[in-house]
Chain A
Amino acid sequence: MKSKASKSWLTMLTLTLILSLLAACSNNSSSSNTNSGNAGTAANTGNSESVYKEKYEPPVTISTVWGVDPALKFKNGESIENNVATKWALDKFGIDIKSLWSVTDTNGAFATKLRLSLTSGQELPDIVVVGNDDPQLAQDLIDSGAFQDAGALFDKYANDTWKAAMEMDSNVWNPYIRDGVRMGIPLLDYAYNHDYLLWIRQDWLDKLNMEAPKTIEELEAVLEAFKNNNPQGLKPDQVTPLSIGFKSSLNTWMGDPSWIFGAYGTIPEQWNLAADGTLEYGSVNEAMKPGLVKLNEWYNKGYIPREAALWDENKTAEPAVAGTAGIIPGPYWMSGWPLLDTAKNVEGAVWKPYPIPTGPDGKAGRHGTHFTNGVILINKDMKHPEALFTYQNYLFDNYANPAPGSEFDLGLFKGYDYDIDENGNPVFGDDIPGGQIIAPARYFLVRDGARIPDAQMNALLALADGKEPETRLEKDVAVNYGPDTPAAAKVLLSQEDISMKNMFTGPTTPTMKMKLDYLNKLELQTFNEIIYGKKPVDAFDKFVETWKSSGGADITKEVNEWYQTVK
């Protein structure tokens, strides 16, 4: 009897196991069935005339995928798939944003997941928005053939505001042109957004009675004082005088070391215009040598973090926010994030923006910013591509840089980046009940909503000259961008001529595809070893030789052939 009971138990267990497996399988298949059913009906209606509408009834679906910035916050239990912006899109336009998947974008997770889904032939979303941090990804996606002529759609549906913004720089389409067809819509960004300057602890300088450094030499004196005569009373091994990191690259955005090479005349890891009018790879320029020597010297003296080789961008911000760093290179908007928090940790901490110091020959350099920070790709099977334009056109007209009185006058979403108190006055920042969301524009289908390249700089310069904020953008930068951002914008523009853009924006060349990962490895390894004193600086010459013979020379040739076609 007992054995019989236990046996039936076993059978039950087994059946449950099998059933749950079957259930899992059939669940999937049934949902995909309904999907294809929807798709079928949608396709039939999709081809009818006058498709562009201000509002879609019944709602249309736009599917997409998300790489979520780890710094992006949510409130009220929302997520990137379902939040105030997706509800807004459904109410306002009848556009249902459907998320196929999302991933927290650390260590390039978004690019990896997207590549894998491409290779394994999974369903691609209607709209993919890809950033510039991995330019190859956009090229791979275009090469997959799954996306359509976005340029034609843009000409047909985009409104004047958007078109005017796009025309500010005709080069923005270059990376995405295939045989004359514009395969992606460049994602416009604010000009100079990734240009950087030096943020220096003004309170430290004042206590030491020092001036902000104008040359590398003066900078060293400041670093020395920060380190060994710290005005905050920190012991030398507790201070990070200059917070930089190069785990992934010597040319990045926050904690960026590339200006150290700029002082000698080159910017590493990008293609610069050489004196003879051709493009040259910055990392193999002779000027790298004195820069590497300088970094090695600073490493030995403890001016830069001992673990700089292990630090990525966000890590470099940690000592800056904790109040133990003296200088951090970074974009002009850092006054709002993350440096705003320093004063909470250390009383009286003040960050001020300063220009990039010059080298012995009076040279200075920083990497420049393209007007784009990515691309919007439109799936060729997308049922309602016009819906994307309904969404974006509205944002360009009413959000990008509207006259006073638009829907977004105070901010994007009430209760997120602004709120109204009981007297009817707007409140911002920490006064918002439940906490503030920085940059809720990241919730939009297209990252950051809509940006007109020169709009923000114009607003900032107006504020820097003492104008009262009037337009939405002026109010926005006044409230959300930190107290020193207008001043920083002014500093940034005072050095406009030292900004060097990466001149190569074309698709990956054949030799790059075969050799680039090896060349990058060789480069990072050599530079790190020189900085850490494991190899003498002469190892640089050998690196240049190997770089050229292992494919670098071919790549240079291919890059210049491309450059001739767009020049």
Chain B
Amino acid sequence: MKLLKRNWPFHLMILPSLIFLIVFSYVPMAWIVMAFQDFKPRLGISGSEWIGLDNFRYLFEREDSVQVIINTLVIAVLKMVANLIAPFTFAIFLNELRKMFVKRFVQTLVYLPHFLSWVILGGILVDILSTDGGFVNRIITNVFGIEPIFFLGDGTWFRITVVVTDMWKEFGFGTVVFLAALANVNPSLYEAAEVDGASRFKQTMHITIPSMIPITIVVGTLALGNILNAGFDQIFNLYNPLVYDKGDIIDTFVYRAAILNGQMGFGTAIGLFKSVIGMILIVVSYRLAYKLAGYRIF
């Protein structure tokens, strides 16, 4: 009680985000029932016909559903791994920099792309990856002397492009989290190691990396919840009929089926399906993280 008295400004500062959370994440949950309805906007929730699990059945009966789910998993897992390894490695390198100014400068520099929207980046990427004189392909043909690569028109290259560009955009953001963890490492550990004659490399291997493991597990665990989110903004701005086969993901599929074709109930069903899978994965991986690494987030 005394604690509350002293800290009330902090509690008050949480309030706006709490209100946001309730308004935008909890209140809409009431509309989950749409997943079990043949929802029609003019009839509303109360008037629409209840159809049980038909929406879910339809999801698995569609000829392209399995392919879409596979695409989503492949792209999301690749992104997850890339977005864990890249910031992890980069944070270690950055931590070894002695000059504070350079460190901060580089950190800000790699952080900036995070703030660009995919709508803008999509336009830029289409141009620089173009096979007709795009920047990247000009380098490929002039320097390496091979045929231009149709990055956005070939299924496999499309997946690679999506993962790499996402990594480029987001790894600066991830690095910040890891750097924060590194700042918390007790300096006396390094001092002791130095006294014992450990080289910088040994220090990195035995002090820096082990102390990053807990935060890595946290980040990895939280990312698992997004296993069925392959990034709508990005894919939607880059894909085209040529790569439907390997690039169409659940979210773009929902966009076409639910938004463009007006099957709101079906769209909600897919959303619910995604959320349930995500929640199961978070619970399981959280338990695993506790068991294997002895780390609790909450």
Contacts and interface: CB of A to CB of B under 8 A. Distances in A.
A381 interface: no
B240 A247 contact: yes
Interface in B253-270: 256-257, 259-264
Contacts, number: 102
A143 B42 contact: yes
Given A307-B153, A309-B242, 20 more contacts: A7-B9, A11-B9, A13-B13, A17-B13, A112-B259, A115-B262, A134-B260, A143-B42, A144-B41, A305-B132, A514-B58, A516-B261, A517-B261, A518-B62, A518-B257, A521-B256, A525-B242, A528-B242, A529-B242, A550-B63
B228 interface: no
B145 to A, nearest CB: 15
Contact of B12 (A18, A121, A145, A521): A18
Interface string A19-59: 00100000000000000000000000000000000000000
Contacts of A508: 262
A232 interface: no
A140 interface: yes
14 contacts: A111-B260, A118-B41, A121-B44, A305-B132, A306-B132, A309-B153, A517-B261, A518-B257, A520-B256, A521-B244, A525-B241, A529-B242, A546-B63, A550-B63
Interface of A: 7, 10-11, 13-14, 17-18, 21, 108, 111-112, 115-116, 118-119, 121, 134, 136, 140, 143-146, 237, 246-247, 305-307, 309-310, 508, 513-514, 516-518, 520-522, 524-525, 527-529, 532, 534, 546, 550
Contacts of B262: 115, 136, 140, 508, 513
Interface string B135-177: 0000000000000001011000000000000000000000000
B264 A119 contact: yes
User: Chain B interface residue count: which class?
Assistant: 35 or more
Contacts of A546: 63
A521 B64 contact: yes
Interface of B: 9, 12-13, 15-16, 19, 40-42, 44, 58, 62-64, 126, 130-133, 150, 152-153, 240-242, 244-245, 248, 256-257, 259-264
Contacts of B126: 310
Nearest to A310: B240
B63 A309 contact: no
Chain A to chain B: the 3 pairs with minimum beta-carbon distance, closest first: A524-B241, A145-B42, A528-B241
Contacts of A14: 9, 12-13
B19 to A, nearest CB: 7
B131 A306 contact: yes
B263 A514 contact: yes
B257 A517 contact: yes
A115 B40 CA distance: 12
Query: Which of B41, B58, B130, B248 gathers the greatest number of chain A CB atoms within 10 Å?
Result: B41
Contacts of B245: 525, 529
A143 to B, nearest CB: 6
A532 B242 contact: yes
Contacts of B244: 521, 524-525
B153 to A, nearest CB: 6
Given A14-B12, A306-B131, A525-B241, A115 B259 contact: yes
Nearest to A12: B9
Contacts of A136: 260-262
Contacts of B19: 21
B130 A307 contact: yes
Nearest to A118: B41
B222 to A, nearest CB: 26
Query: Which of A140, A143, A310 gathers the greatest number of chain B CB atoms within 10 Å?
Result: A310
Contacts of B42: 143-146
Contact of A10 (B9, B131, B261): B9
A522 B263 CA distance: 18
Contacts of A524: 241, 244
Nearest to A116: B259
Nearest to A525: B244
A527 B64 CA distance: 17
Contacts of B63: 518, 522, 546, 550
A520 B44 CA distance: 28
A486 B40 CA distance: 48
Contacts of B131: 306-307
Contacts of B44: 121
